[in-house]
């Protein structure tokens, strides 16, 4: 019995390395209820480092005959907010992903949202290569998405925290 729990724990950890959330029609009905708050966010610009990683991902997508992703300000806002949250927690996570996906949908009309997160990489090249080597992260990068944004934030010790949101 303990062995089964161990394998279940390993599977949960492996699967939780990236997140996807499809917003069903029921989700959209709930989003339109008055008690749901809509966050109005302005468009923003990636930092130089964020822009470079975004370009790496788009160049990769082009190299495998996929359309490039368009930068989108609301997804940048929510990615940045999550990177700051991860810094406050001291680890990577997909905590509150469903809520982020719903908020992104309310602001953009997204019907499908995915997320990649990372830390413990010193450069954007290292993070990018790690995402490509991870099946779940690579599937998000190669997914049928139209828009995205990447947030890279640094904690006080100089560790980089990465969040990328994808949607269509």
pLDDT tens-digit profile of 1-43? 444 443 333 333 333 346 665 554 334 444 444 444 444 444 4
Q: Is residue 52 pLDDT above 70, yes or no?
A: yes
HSE-CB for 35 with a 13 A CA cutoff: 1
Only one residue has tokens 């996807």, namely 20
Q: How confident is the model at residue 132 (pLDDT cuts 50, 70, 90)?
A: very high
The mean pLDDT value for 143-157 works out to 97
The mean pLDDT value for 145-159 works out to 97
The mean pLDDT value for 136-160 works out to 97
151 or 14, greater pLDDT = 151
Q: Provide DSSP, 24-83.
A: -HHHHHHHTSTTSPP---------HHHHHHHHHHHHHHHHTT-PPPEE-HHHHHHHHHHH
Q: What are the residues facing 100 on neighbouring strands?
A: none
Mean pLDDT of the chain: 83
Q: Is residue 107 pLDDT above 60, yes or no?
A: yes
Give the helix/strand (H/E) hosting 5: helix 2-15
What gap in Å lies between CA 46 and CA 72, rounded to an integer?
A: 10
pLDDT tens-digit profile of 71-83? 999 999 999 999 9
Range with the lowest mean pLDDT among 37-41, 52-56, 89-93, 102-106? 37-41
């Amino acid at each position: 019995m303990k062995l089964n729990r161990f394998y279940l724990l390993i599977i949960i950890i492996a699967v939780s390395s990236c997140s996807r959330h499809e917003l069903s029609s029921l989700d959209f009905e709930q989003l339109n209820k008055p008690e749901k708050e809509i966050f109005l966010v302005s468009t923003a610009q990636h930092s130089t480092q964020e822009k470079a990683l975004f370009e790496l991902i788009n160049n990769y997508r082009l190299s495998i005959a996929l359309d490039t992703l368009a930068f989108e300000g609301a997804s940048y806002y929510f990615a940045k907010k999550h990177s700051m949250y991860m810094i406050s927690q001291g680890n990577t996570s997909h905590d509150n992903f469903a809520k982020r996906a719903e908020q992104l949908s309310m602001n953009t009309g997204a019907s499908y949202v995915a997320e990649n997160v990372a830390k413990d990489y010193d450069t954007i090249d290292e993070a990018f290569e790690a995402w490509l080597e991870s099946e779940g992260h690579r599937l998000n990068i190669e997914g049928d998405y139209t828009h995205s944004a990447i947030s890279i934030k640094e904690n006080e010790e100089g560790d980089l925290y990465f969040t990328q949101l994808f949607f269509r």
